[in-house]
Structure 1
Amino acid sequence: MRTSLPRAALGALAAAVLLGACGTQTAGPGGEGAGVCGAGAAGGGPDSGAGSGAEAGASAQDGVRVVGMVEQDRGGASSCVVAYSVTNQEAEPFTYTITFSLTGAEGGAMSNTEETVASVGAGRTVRRTLEPVPGHADAGEVRIIDVKRVPSDEAPAPDGPCPSSGLRLTADDGDAAMGLRVVGLRLENCGSRPYSLDGYPALGLLDEDHEPVGGIGIVPGGEGIALVGGFDDPPRPVTLDPGEAAVSGLMWRNTTGSGEPVDVPYVRVRALPGADPVMVAPDLDLGTTGKLGVSAWRKDTANGASAPPRP
């Protein structure tokens, strides 16, 4: 999945490559350009068991490394594009969602683009190229600003084939107002039989290493957090026919007092206790409140009138 979206930079800038050497020329016989990307071009195949020498000298973040510029044949014209690698050092396949930032030749921010690299095998390194973003051919630099990685068997599936569970669970980008945060959860029945709900999503809060985060109370509704219309509605039985969806929401305050602020990058969500888990990455900045509210599932109508309550 490759999408371009305006998203704020997250975290430290971990890798960057200048694009000033990038150009385009007509390819010669055999479709190969003559040094379009200069001496910094990186070679090698798309998959390998370890990083190449070109990769070893670059900065990296969470297994993602900007390699450099590589030549790519596009219909008889050879141009240079950014190459990056993803190395999975875990013992099981992981799926990576990477946010790149493009800056102009003078250093100003131009656009962010997000790419997902699915199912990188345990101990494997894969090579990918960053597709040019329309309208930003004059980009001067690309940076890695955020990396999220989840076990592939728990990765959200916002599009493509329906998961084997028959359910598609995703989280939205969230809303914020005066320190109050709300992230919406959506559960779609993409299977072939009805699915019944009655209650709240089951949540597991996880740190950057996917280990449990303790000391956070998960409360029904907005108890002690905020009064938001609809968020405190009690659970009611919901039956989702194929093609229908239900919504819930997470709510918290980013308030900092005494103690160490708590950040929760990942949440393991089960539609109901015992259901197949899906790991989402909402980046909960809980401050020192020690509390996260969750609303009950309710049916999502076609016009969005039953979307999760917002502040």
Structure 2
Amino acid sequence: MPTITARSARPARSAVLTAAAVSAAALLAGCGEVTADAGAAGAAGPSASAGPCGAPPQGAAREGWVRNGVRILSVSDACAEFEVTNTGSEAADFSVLFEWTGADERMNTNPTGTVVAVPPGATARGRLDVGSGGPRGLASGQPIVPGVKITRVRSVPTAEAPSEGGPCPASGVRLYADRGDAAMGLRVVGLHLVNCGTAPVTLNGYPQVQALDEAHKPVDPLQVLKGGAAIATGTGADSPPQRIVLAPGEGAGSTVVWRNTDDASSEPVLAPYLRVRPTPDAAPVTVTPELDLGTTGRLGIGAWTRETTPS
């Protein structure tokens, strides 16, 4: 899944994205990171060297080009430029899922663009570069001019963003969710914690979690169960709670379990976000497991267990 990241880090500068940076990032890792800065007045300045990717729409915006504070600016067969406006009260990281279709064929996976650390009230620009002649290329090698629309927008406070790499957060721990597994209505997602600091970290029992809806409001009613046996067995969420002391570099995991079962007794519950505290006094981290709880109203949480961390 091609992913391009833009970071708005210095509000005094205008947004600048370079095609060279995008290409270099994509070549280095398959998914890359470029930098964009939000303007001091809250709006990103013109992109000096990012494109354009194509002609902007004439007249009314095309269907699917504006959604939840995100707007597609231009698009071609090789890339798309978009902008994100943070209407919240704190800096936020945005993840935007695009549906990218061609005239004759469709990508196997739809790309995601991310823009991070957007200040409140600011607008920052991002660029999604998937390249022509890549996974969307025709057998003849000719590029396809795609149809693009925004299908989903997610945002988390920058201070609560999950972390898998890069500098160690101020909390001294990294916490993130994996992509999970789904089968026959059963959903299982892993939470992973790594002590990246210099002091031991003590875990005792279960992480504290709070499901949030698309507007970042707590889901109510919701029954949070300790362990997953009441929902399904064999999920890995039923180990007994224990006190774990993680030395620097060591990790632990927990498992989130739910069912997407709809018995028509009430409206299905969708909770994109899960706010997680590893311990009661820890700073929260917000992950995005896309909880489609159906009408069950129940979420199982496994106790922390030791995990082997990558070397």
TM-score class, shorter-chain normalisation, is 0.7 to 0.9
Q: Partner of 1:166 in structure 2? A: 172
CA 1:184–1:80 in structure 2 vs 1: closer, same or farther (change >3 Å)? Answer: closer
Checking the alignment, whether the CA contact within 8 Å between 1:103 and 1:110 is kept in structure 2 is no
* Cα displacement string for residues 86-126 of structure 1 (whole angstroms, at most 9, x for unaligned residues): 11111111110112232222253443222221111111111
Larger CA deviation: 165-174 vs 111-120: 111-120
Secondary structure in 2 matching 1:153: helix
Checking the alignment, whether the CA contact within 8 Å between 2:194 and 2:249 is kept in structure 1 is yes
CA 1:81–1:251 in structure 2 vs 1: closer, same or farther (change >3 Å)? Answer: closer
Give 1:44-63 correspondences, 5 Å limit: 47=39, 49-50=42-43, 57-58=60-61, 59-63=65-69
Secondary structure in 1 matching 2:191: strand
Which structure 2 residue ranges, 5 or more long, are not aligned? 5-36, 46-55, 138-142
1:298 to 280, 299, 305: 305
Q: Partner of 1:201 in structure 2? A: 207
Checking the alignment, whether the CA contact within 8 Å between 2:178 and 2:189 is kept in structure 1 is yes
Equivalent residue pairs, number: 255
1:65 to 27, 49, 71: 71
Checking the alignment, whether the CA contact within 8 Å between 1:102 and 1:110 is kept in structure 2 is no
Q: Partner of 1:92 in structure 2? A: 90
The CA deviation at 1:2 is 6.1
Q: Partner of 2:128 in structure 1? A: 130
Which structure 1 residue ranges, 5 or more long, are not aligned? 5-44, 71-78, 305-311
Letter in 2 for 1:86: V
Q: Partner of 1:267 in structure 2? A: 274
Larger CA deviation: 136-145 vs 176-185: 136-145
More strand by share: 1
Letter in 2 for 1:120: V
Q: Partner of 1:82 in structure 2? A: 80
The CA deviation at 1:242 is 1.2
Aligned equivalents of 1:57, 1:281: Cα separation in 2: 32
Deviating above 4 A after TM superposition, structure 1's stretches of 4 or more consecutive aligned residues are 45-48, 54-57
The CA deviation at 1:142 is 2.8
* Cα displacement string for residues 170-198 of structure 1 (whole angstroms, at most 9, x for unaligned residues): 00111011111101000011111111111
CA 1:301–1:157 in structure 2 vs 1: closer, same or farther (change >3 Å)? Answer: closer
CA 1:131–1:82 in structure 2 vs 1: closer, same or farther (change >3 Å)? Answer: same
Aligned equivalents of 2:126, 2:306: Cα separation in 1: 39
* Cα displacement string for residues 243-279 of structure 1 (whole angstroms, at most 9, x for unaligned residues): 1110001101111111111111111100011210001
User: Is the aligned partner of 1:153 residue 2:159?
Assistant: yes
TM-score (norm 1): 0.75
TM-score (norm 2): 0.75
Aligned equivalents of 1:190, 1:161: Cα separation in 2: 9
Aligned equivalents of 1:135, 1:292: Cα separation in 2: 38
Q: Partner of 1:141 in structure 2? A: 147
Task: Give RMSD over aligned pairs.
Answer: 2.7
Checking the alignment, whether the CA contact within 8 Å between 1:104 and 1:110 is kept in structure 2 is no
CA 1:284–1:95 in structure 2 vs 1: closer, same or farther (change >3 Å)? Answer: same
Secondary structure in 2 matching 1:112: coil
Checking the alignment, whether the CA contact within 8 Å between 1:255 and 1:287 is kept in structure 2 is yes
CA 1:269–1:302 in structure 2 vs 1: closer, same or farther (change >3 Å)? Answer: closer
Checking the alignment, whether the CA contact within 8 Å between 2:2 and 2:130 is kept in structure 1 is no
Q: Partner of 1:103 in structure 2? A: 101
CA 1:152–1:57 in structure 2 vs 1: closer, same or farther (change >3 Å)? Answer: farther
